[in-house]
Each structure stands twice: as C-alpha cells, then as structure tokens.
Amino acid sequence: MSFETVRYTPEWRASLVSLLARVGTTQLSDEEFTWWFDRNPAGEGIVSLAVDGGEVVGVAAMSFFRTRLNGVETRLAIPVNVATDSRYRGQGVFSTLERENEEAAAVAGSPLTVTFPNAKSYPIFVLRLGWTDLPRLRLWARPLRVSGVARYLLGRAGEHGGMRATSGDVRTLHGLEVRPLERFGPDMDELGRRAAAGYGSHFSRDAEYFNWRYLDSPRDYRCFGAYRGGELAGVAVVGHTFKHGVSAGFLADLVVAPDGVQAVRALVSRAVAEVKGGADALVSLPPPARSQRRALARAGFAPTNTKLRFIGKTLHDDARVDARGDAWHFTLGDFDFF
C-alpha cells in the first residue's frame, strides 16, 4: 500500500478523528481536537498526515508550548499524537511524518524537542530519528485502598471508579484556606514566577496556560488554590483515569514556591479527598524540591517501580539538550499521560 504526506487542513478532520479513535494511544474527540490544536495559546500545532485514496492512514503531530528553557522563555514544539492504521505499519509512515514535523518545528524556531514515547514509538525515535535518552522520571503513588494494591499485584482489574461529586466548599487544611478555582488570574502568573526558581526547564506556568490546559478542557479536571492571608500560595489540579485495570486519581499539576511545604500538604489533602473512595491510588510526578518531596512522603506518597521514558533531540546546531537528572520538570498534565 502507498501513501502521500500532506499538512493537516480542516477537510481532513473527520477522517483524522476516526483514525485516532481506532488506533491512537490518545483518543481525541472532535471537540478535544479543536481545544488542543486550534486554541492552544502558544500557537497552532504542526500536524502531518499520511493519506491514501482520501483516507487518513497516519498522523504525527507536534504542539507548541511556551517553555522556560534554562531560564529563558521560548517556544518548544513537542510530539503529542501519533497513530498509524494497522494496514500501513512497517512502511515508514511515522518516521516520514515525524521528520517533516521536526523540519517544520526547526523553521518555526524551536531549538530542540523532548517527549515521553510509548513502547512502540521509542525505538523509531531513537534508532531511526536520532533522538537520545534522557533520565527517566519516576512515578510516585499514594495508595488509597489496600484491595486496589492487591489487585494490581495480582494483575486483576478493578472497578472504574471516579472522582467525587463536585463540591464548592472552602476548607481549612494545614493552616491554609483551600478552595476550588473557576478561573486563573494574575496571582497565578506571580505564583508561576516564584515556583519557576525550583523547576529547571519547564512549561511556563501562568494563568493563560492553566485556563486553557485545564479549565477550558473538555475533560474533567478539578482545580484548587491554597491561600494564606488572601494570597495564592499554591495550586493543584486533579483528574481521574482507568488504565490497565487500575482506577487512579492523578495529580495533573502542583505549583508551589520552593519553600511552600504547607501548601503542598494542604493541596494534597484536598486532592486525596476528591478521589478517595473512587480510586485505588493517587499518582504524581513529584516536584524537584526535596522539601516538597518530603511533604509528599509524609502525606503517604512513595516512589513506584514505574519510570517514564524521556528522550530529546536538538533541532538547531547551536542548541543542546540538558541531560542532567534535575534539568527538567514535568507534570502528568503536561503531556496528558493519563
């Protein structure tokens, strides 16, 4: 079977969404596609298609993210959605599309790119496309049900579960006022600037990004702010998923200044309350600050055996991908792992 490559245009939308629903690792509805690719505040993404006879048979996409790279804000193009129709696998569809995307990303000014590949795409990225391994990120988890841990160890699926009914109540936790957020404002911009000091390179955390990423998302996220004396001291975002037979709440984001241990404890307590009774565990990628990791440990979190593959590639000759273990900070919400 043969195919040709084209850049995405709206007339391909229905066929592309159908492909992602059949074979994509991340299924996107038409509404989700519009939100993710058309409304991204960092700009429209790069979406390359393999087509045959008027049908989309492969896709590779990159989204732009405003990123604090070594302390300087820039835009990075990041691979986010990959899918190939089973009839066309083994014909170089993904590698062809990804090369085109990387060339377009370089022209658009992205100095480098990073991603978290799945088991199928990883060897193609590394062996065919010249990406390099970076230190993997370890997942942390707080068990919520003993029965869930037992089922996981035995490989048995549990119930789907979910988050509790939405509640708008304000709670005082660990000396801070924790309340749901319906919109992020300028105080989120200031919090993001303070938190950045402890993050290394990371996606810029500000009101515009968080409003788009979580509150405008068609998916269900719960956003909470921790306040001390009326000042925003931290933000947490909670979601729920069911994968590999496990009902899991996940801490999609946690933004706290490096010295904000009490805010971590307060926000984690609220996150646990949102999923307790409907999830076997609450999982997270922990923040880099040791004091915050200790706060997570005191809240019942512990490192798991699961590590996420992390790889990178330079797109400009004068760029360098920092391979130090503490050079990058990501959350589960950055790439919608869950």
DSSP assignment string, 218-277: SS--EEEEEEETTEEEEEEEEEEEEETTEEEEEEEEEEE-TT-HHHHHHHHHHHHHHHBT
Closest CA to 217 of 187, 189, 188, 184: 184
Mean pLDDT by 10 residues, the chain (338 residues): 92 92 74 90 95 95 96 95 92 97 98 94 96 96 79 67 87 97 98 95 97 95 97 97 85 95 97 93 95 96 95 97 95 78
What pLDDT is recorded for position 338?
Answer: 43
Reduced to 3 DSSP states, what percent helix, strand and coil does the chain have, rounded to the nearest 5? 30, 35, 35
What is the pTM (predicted TM-score) of this model?
0.92
What pLDDT is recorded for position 105?
Answer: 98
> Residue 72 is encoded by which pair of tokens?
């300087």
Strands 246-256 and 281-284: what pairing?
Answer: parallel
Q: Rounded to an integer, what distance in angstroms lies between the CA atom of residue 334 and that of residue 172?
A: 28
Radius of gyration of the chain measured on its C-alpha atoms: 20
Q: Where are the alpha helices (DSSP H) in 197-306?
A: 207-210, 261-275, 290-298
Q: Rounded to an integer, what distance in angstroms lies between the CA atom of residue 154 and that of residue 260?
A: 38
The answer to whether the beta carbons of residues 185 and 179 sit under 8 Å apart is no
> Residue 311 is encoded by which pair of tokens?
């790889």
Angle at Cα 48 formed by Cα 42 and Cα 51, nearest 5°? 150
Closest CA to 268 of 301, 314, 244, 308: 301
